[in-house]
Every structure is written in structure tokens, then in C-alpha cells.
Structure 1
Amino acid sequence: MNGKPLFLSFSSPNSLIDDVPYRGMIPRMQKSNTPESFNEFLQAGTDGIMVDQQGRAIYYSQHIDSNFVKFILRNKLTDPAVVRQFNPTTNFPDGTMELKVSWKIVQPGDDVSDMFTMDGEINKLVNKDGKIVVDPNQRDKVKLALVGFHIAGVVENHPEMIWATFEHKRNAPVVPANVTPTTVVSDQDWTFYKANTQYKDCNVNYANTNKLTLDEATQLLRPSTQACRQFEFGNDPNSENSNVQQNDANIASLNADALKHLDEDDVWRNYFEVGAIWFGPNASELRPNMSLATDGDLTGSLKLSNATIETYTQTQSTMNNCFRCHNTMQAFPGNPDLAPLPALNINISHAFQNIYFWSQDTTDAQ
């Protein structure tokens, strides 16, 4: 792809829906297991928004591959009425893939020599009714640096998708195993961490303390997020579970092996896999109404998070891995005018859930 990652040639979920306005890129809001409609998402406040050291919001994009697109279009799943009659046990076909990618706005003086960068367009933020919200009518052209991404894909015998996450190596330091509130996590500056920040000041959601402010003219937010990576490979470092220890060793080995296949000047040498999570060999078969609120069916990195996408939920037991939010339960929108999504196997994909709720912005909810 001429030096660009293949996913940039993929479709976006909203591109499948007629008459849905351009979204641009929008800031990563608080991780939520509640689907949101297109309009609500744009109007969401800044609960959980990540702010870099220069004061700019971290933005994200979503991408779906051709297998995903063909499945949606072949089954007419951009029509909410069709979705509500869809066979609930139908799975995505093998090879289906979706990604969520996090981007930092490149500022003067930023060293992005070891990051993949591209030009992009974002939606601006505004102050409205005491909140900081996205304005879909204001856009800005910027240079973006890729700092993290999730990949979820269906492989043989794994309709739940295998969920993996990757980060740039300079994003944030790893929290020590026996940390205390006053522990200095690192004496070095990182992209999203200021040297000598104590653990108690890491991953603080300032929106929840009403301290987050926006200068509309400069688009600068204050204060900045001090991000730390709670679990190096998505597992508790103090765990005595041999499976956990083997999983972490496997990820470290996989990252080392990947470097052998990349040229010394390849920008992708600077990204690494944090971990992956999927259903174990003795797991239940994927079915509708699986909450996946516990780890009983899961294996791999059981506390998997990305410091740029799930900054504030790394230690929350109700949200500390992919399947806490990606499940097959019935889904309810925040907007009561929209029809809920029935429990389906394919609800495991938030890209699909977004398509369902966004499509109701152009049709009458039943």
C-alpha cells in the first residue's frame, strides 16, 4: 500500500449508510458498553477524553475490511428492520476484521520520526452548555501520528473474534509490580507521561473531577493526561498462574521475532503487541445473551487494555478487557427514540452496533 498500512484502504462503518453525514475523526471518549447513535456520539461530553502533553485530544478512526462489508451488505444489515429479524446465532464469516486506531495530533517540536504519520481531518471541539463537545460542522486539517490500534478478527472456530492491541513503544511507562500511590513510575519523559509523575497521578480522568477545560481558539485542553500502562502484557505481573506466565512469555517472544522480519529503518519496528484475548479451548460456544462479565470462557491477556484507548479503565474489573464491552447482549441506545438492538452473536462487534444505531438516524425507529 505504498508504505501505508492496509487498513487505511478499508471502509469505515458509517460509509455503508446512506445519508449519514461525514464524521471526520472524533476524540476517544470514555469507554462505554452502551451503544450510542451518530448524533449522541458527536454530542458526548469529554468524560474520559485523553489529552496529550501538548494539550490536544487523542483522536481515533474505525475501519472494517471487505469481508465485514460484504457480510453487512449481503444480509442488508444497514436496515434496522432487517437486523431485528436476523438469525441471532449467525456469526461473522472467517476472515472478518475490524480495527480501531488512535492518533496524536503532531505539534511543532514533536519527534515523530519513529511513528507512522499522515495528513487527516478532524472535528473540532467547542464549549456548549457547560460541557466540551464535538462540533460536526467544524473541521481542521492536521498531521496525525499513529500511537495505538486494536485489531479484532474472526478465525476458524473463533466467531467471538481474537482481540489484539498494539501500541507505540514510547507511549507510556509500565507500572511496577509492587506499586504504591507515591511510587514514581518513570524518571523519563514519554509521549503521554511526564517524568517523575507519581502513580496516584496516572490515568486520572479529569473530566470526572470537572477540571478539564478547553480553549476553543487554540483547541488546547487542560490538564494533560499522565498515562501509565498498568499491565505490560495484559496480565497481572504478580500472578502465579502458569498459563498467565506462559502467555506473557509468548507475547514477548512474538514481539522479538517480529523485529527480525522488519528492516532497521522500518517505522513499524517501533510498535509492539501488548497482548490478545479470545475464547479458551473449554469455552462455551458463542451464543446470544452472553455477557462475558467474568473470565471463565477467556484465555490470553485477561486484563488487556491499550493506554491510548482505554486509559481510564485498566484497573476496573467491569471494563478491564475487550470482552467486558464486546458481548452478545441486547444493546440499548442512550436515545429513547431509537429501537434497541436484539441479542445477536454479531453484537460482539461495536462497528456493527454503530451501524445499527447510526442507520436509525436516517430511518424511522420502530
Structure 2
Amino acid sequence: MKRSALVLVVAPLLCTSAIAKEPEYETAPAAVAGACPPPGWQENLGNFQKPNAAFPTQDTASVPTPDCNFHEWSFEAYVWATALDANGTPRFLTLPTPDDLLSTNAKAAEIGPRTLKLAARSLMPHGTAGYTEGAGAIVEADGNVLVGPNGYPILASVHMNQSYFATAKKNLIVTNGYATQPQNSSFETGAAVFKATWLRLAPGQKPPAGAYVTEAEVPVLTVLRTKTSIAILPVAGQFVKAQVALVGLHVVGSTVNHPEFLWATFEHKLNAPAVADNTFAPSPTAKNPNAFTFYAANTPFSTVNSANVPPALTFDLRSQRFAPVNNVVLENRTGGENQTGGQANVLSVNASGQTFLAGEPNPQSIFANYNLGGTVWMAPNSYNLNSDQTNAVGSVNLANTTAETFFQQARNQPMSNVQNCFTCHNPTSYSFQQSPPPLANRLIALSHVLAYGSPYAVPNLITGRVTSNLR
């Protein structure tokens, strides 16, 4: 059968035991006076790995200079999420997903083994023919696709703890909960949600050194076309099994005095070059000599972090692969941290936490191969119906190269130009819609999980137009 190549316009087995060798990065700022993290913090991390450990919720508002404490929380939450059970499964993969959120099964919220189904979010509303739901997406929040080194799109999954699950279920848009629940509804302290990004491996392909690998059901993609346009999207209910490597993990939780949630991100050490905060320049002479998973050695920085545009982006229906591959750079190694000593604090907490994990028995030790990229939050108890990314504190330009690839902002000043988690996750998440109709601002609207199964969900497809060389 002849292969079909489509040209698009993108719309606005085992865990390896080796600890990955980290390529050299740009020089990090020197640590400031004072202990960050303080003595004994590293030794306490093991408590968060216990089977019945509570998700961390410590009050970071009571400390005069709390910056370090927020990043400590991030690593504690990461250790909690990645703690392996008796079957060798990270805790976050035993948590409910959006598929469970919309299930009628009374046991859907239970913690335990479940199939990892990736990127099956439906175009059809809940309860209609052709509806299917899953744990994530084939596109990033801005509608663009990150093409991995083997041509497969980077896939995403979403997982939530039971506290988050219970509140989200009460406030779902598709069941009218968003409109009927009290206007001041919010998530409880201790609610947590995790977004993972995955590199699909081809048969026999080696994963990035030191990455966590598991089996997943990945979607079969198809093409819908008219005379002038095309769309690539998952086929409802059709999956194939494949090995996937964890390349990124957002760790998000509600703590005392912080109903806006603390937002942190981790990514595999070998993902991409990481540039010191506020120094990235898209210059043809700027480059890194090392090869990374998502960066070919010596690629000019002037060509990185760019979404594919026509006639570049193609899709082969038979192989299920895209071209060309994206080259990626992390523009702010610590997320544009804007607090005194903040950049050094991120790096110090990261180094201390990784040292703890590297000392754990294999395979738990592989999670030492992921870097903390930073944490972003707001002033204590300041979150309100007008809050947005300009109210952010800490890593105000926080991004992950596998989840916000094309949405990075190189400078953290002026604040009116910053881009971070609160750019999209805020009380106005559903109020700017034109079709379907806008919904009222609500504090709880910072959760995009509430939109699953409804027309308000971010479309899980790649759209484009037919070009002259389409066959």
C-alpha cells in the first residue's frame, strides 16, 4: 500500500538502572549565605515514600524568607508522587485519571493498578456517539505538537489524588456542577494533580539513559479531511501497546494558605540544554555542543523552540510518525526565579534531593535523573477572581521543554510579559470562550480537568489546510 504524506498547518520494559550522566550546563549562580535546604531536610525525604504517607501541605507562609521552602515542597511532592509500590509502579500512576473522573464505576476513584492510556481525549461530548476519554493529549496547551526524535508525538497524561478527584467530580462542567456548586468552591488543602509527558519508543529503541520506562496504550491517529482542511486526531477507542519513557512531570498541589496551588515541574536530565535564567538569546551563533534527547548537538538557538509550520510538518499515516523533529532548549533553567537567591535555592534543593534518590535501591534511584525546574506560587491567601500570571512569585517563567515547548518566555521582566502556569490556569479559564458560551469566573476554574468531556476542553487534535503536494 502506498504511503500517504500529509502537510499540515499547526493551529494558534523495564526501568534502566543507570544514573544518567548530565551534560555540562551554563554556569549557575553562586549560592547565597544560609542553608538551603537546611540540615536534615534530605534525610526526611524518605518519609514521603511510605505507602500511607500524606501528600505534603506545609505552611510556607509563616517563614520570613519562604523561597527555599517552596522548592523543598516541590521535591517532597515529587518524591511522594514517584514512590514505587510493591509492583514497582510510581504512586502517581496508581491515581485516578480523567477517564475515571467521568466513569460510572463506583470504584473509579480507588488507588491501585490501572492501564496507562495516553492521549485519547474525545472530540465528541460526553454521552454522545463516538465519545472516548483518556489520560492526556497529543498536543500541548497551545495546540502545537512536539515531535520526538523518532517522529512520534510526545504524549501527555493526567493523574489526580482522591481529594482533587472528589472536588473536580462535583464541579464538572459536563454534569452542570460548575454552574450549580457554590461560587466559592475550591480545592481542599492537600489536593494534588500530576501531568506527565511521555516519549513513545519504537520497537527495540533504547530509552534516554536513566529514564523510567513503562508500557502504555497509545492512540491510533487518523486523518479527517475536506477539500481545504485536514485534522489529525485519535481514533475513538483504538490503541496499540508501546513502551514509553517518562520525560517530564508537573507536580501541582494545594497547601496551607495557597488555594492557587503550588506549581512545580521536573524533567529528565537529558531532555535539552538548560540556559541560565534571563540569558537565552535565539542567536544563530548560540548553540550547545552536546546531544540531548530533544536537541541535536550544535543546533543554532535561532532555530529551536519553534512549532512546525507549513510546509514543514508532515504526517505518515502508516508509520504514525511526524516530520521534522523539533529541537528544544530550556530557556530558563530555574524558571526565571525572581526571589533573592532563588536560582541558587532551586539548584541546591535539586542537588540535595537527587543525592537522596541516587542513594535509594534500584529501581527507585532512577528518579534521581530528573531535574527540578522551579516552583511558582502567589502571595499567601492572595488568590482571587482577578488573579493571573502577573501575580506569580518564584519561578515566574516556569516551563517544561516537553509540555510548554513553544510557550517559553526568556525574560522575567516586565511582569506584564511573563508566561507561567497561571497564564492558562486561573479564574478566567472558561470565561473568554466565544463558542461554546463563556462561563462565569470561579476560583476553581484554575483546574482544566473540570472541562473533560465538554466542549470547553482543549481540542486534542492537530488542524491544518490541504496543500498542493497532498496526495
TM-score > 0.5, shorter chain as reference: yes
Report the counterpart of residue 150 of structure 1 in structure 2: 250
1:82-118 CA-to-partner distances (Å, cap 9, x unmatched) read 3213222222100001111100011233244411111
Report the counterpart of residue 141 of structure 2 in structure 1: 31
Please state how far the C-alpha of 1:315 moved relative to its aligned partner.
Answer: 2.1
User: Are 2:197 and 1:102 equivalent residues in the alignment?
Assistant: yes
User: Are 2:300 and 1:198 equivalent residues in the alignment?
Assistant: yes
Work out the CA distance in 2 between the residues paired with 1:250 and 1:93: 28
State the TM-score, normalizing by the size of structure 1: 0.82
Report the counterpart of residue 298 of structure 1 in structure 2: 392
Report the counterpart of residue 269 of structure 1 in structure 2: 368
Answer yes or no: is the 8 Å Cα contact 2:173–2:451 preserved in 1.
no
Report the counterpart of residue 212 of structure 1 in structure 2: 313
Answer yes or no: is the 8 Å Cα contact 2:208–2:270 preserved in 1.
no
Please state how far the C-alpha of 1:64 moved relative to its aligned partner.
Answer: 1.1
312-321 vs 110-119, which moves further:
312-321
After the TM superposition, which residues 89-168 of structure 1 pair with which residues of structure 2 at under 5 Å, given as runs? 89-107=184-202, 108-129=204-225, 130-137=229-236, 138-168=238-268
Work out the CA distance in 2 between the residues paired with 1:86 and 1:119: 38
Answer yes or no: is the 8 Å Cα contact 1:26–1:122 preserved in 2.
no
Residue 450 of structure 2, aligned match among 339, 348, 352: 352
User: Are 2:378 and 1:279 equivalent residues in the alignment?
Assistant: yes
For 1:98, what is the secondary structure of its paired residue?
strand
Please state how far the C-alpha of 1:171 moved relative to its aligned partner.
Answer: 0.2
Residue 14 of structure 1, aligned match among 95, 99, 120: 99
Work out the CA distance in 2 between the residues paired with 1:352 and 1:313: 23
1:119-171 CA-to-partner distances (Å, cap 9, x unmatched) read 00111222332434112333221110000011110000100000000000000
Tell me which amino acid in the other structure corresponds to 2:298: N
Tell me which amino acid in the other structure corresponds to 2:367: W
Report the counterpart of residue 179 of structure 1 in structure 2: 281
Answer yes or no: is the 8 Å Cα contact 1:72–1:78 preserved in 2.
no
Work out the CA distance in 2 between the residues paired with 1:252 and 1:146: 21
Query: How many equivalent pairs are there?
Result: 331
> Tell me, which stretches of 5 or more residues in structure 1 are unaligned?
33-46, 360-366
Distance change in 2, residues 1:13/1:342 (3 Å): farther
Answer yes or no: is the 8 Å Cα contact 1:127–1:214 preserved in 2.
no
Distance change in 2, residues 1:86/1:287 (3 Å): farther
Work out the CA distance in 2 between the residues paired with 1:24 and 1:141: 15
Please state how far the C-alpha of 1:253 moved relative to its aligned partner.
Answer: 0.8
Answer yes or no: is the 8 Å Cα contact 1:327–1:347 preserved in 2.
yes
Report the counterpart of residue 161 of structure 2 in structure 1: 65
User: Are 2:350 and 1:255 equivalent residues in the alignment?
Assistant: yes
Answer yes or no: is the 8 Å Cα contact 2:346–2:372 preserved in 1.
yes
Work out the CA distance in 2 between the residues paired with 1:53 and 1:25: 23
1:323-357 CA-to-partner distances (Å, cap 9, x unmatched) read 11110016158683x45432111111111233665
Tell me which amino acid in the other structure corresponds to 1:102: T
1:255-284 CA-to-partner distances (Å, cap 9, x unmatched) read 111123224441101012100100125xx7
Tell me which amino acid in the other structure corresponds to 1:11: P
Work out the CA distance in 2 between the residues paired with 1:22 and 1:190: 35
Tell me which amino acid in the other structure corresponds to 1:187: P
Answer yes or no: is the 8 Å Cα contact 1:23–1:123 preserved in 2.
no
Percent sequence identity is 27
Answer yes or no: is the 8 Å Cα contact 2:335–2:395 preserved in 1.
yes
Answer yes or no: is the 8 Å Cα contact 1:17–1:78 preserved in 2.
no
Work out the CA distance in 1 between the residues paired with 2:149 and 2:397: 26
Please state how far the C-alpha of 1:228 moved relative to its aligned partner.
Answer: 0.5
18-27 vs 315-324, which moves further:
18-27
Residue 152 of structure 2, aligned match among 37, 52, 56: 56
For 1:261, what is the secondary structure of its paired residue?
helix
Work out the CA distance in 1 between the residues paired with 2:233 and 2:146: 14
User: Are 2:321 and 1:321 equivalent residues in the alignment?
Assistant: no
Tell me which amino acid in the other structure corresponds to 1:292: D
Answer yes or no: is the 8 Å Cα contact 1:118–1:143 preserved in 2.
yes
Please state how far the C-alpha of 1:293 moved relative to its aligned partner.
Answer: 4.4
Tell me which amino acid in the other structure corresponds to 1:277: V
Report the counterpart of residue 44 of structure 1 in structure 2: none
Tell me which amino acid in the other structure corresponds to 1:17: L
Report the counterpart of residue 362 of structure 1 in structure 2: none
Work out the CA distance in 2 between the residues paired with 1:72 and 1:55: 35
Work out the CA distance in 1 between the residues paired with 2:301 and 2:140: 20
Work out the CA distance in 1 between the residues paired with 2:186 and 2:177: 16
Distance change in 2, residues 1:344/1:334 (3 Å): closer
Work out the CA distance in 1 between the residues paired with 2:215 and 2:268: 19
For 1:307, what is the secondary structure of its paired residue?
coil
User: Are 2:401 and 1:307 equivalent residues in the alignment?
Assistant: yes
| Structure of larger gyration radius | 2
For 1:101, what is the secondary structure of its paired residue?
strand
Work out the CA distance in 1 between the residues paired with 2:281 and 2:297: 16
Distance change in 2, residues 1:253/1:314 (3 Å): same
Answer yes or no: is the 8 Å Cα contact 1:13–1:352 preserved in 2.
no
For 1:249, what is the secondary structure of its paired residue?
helix
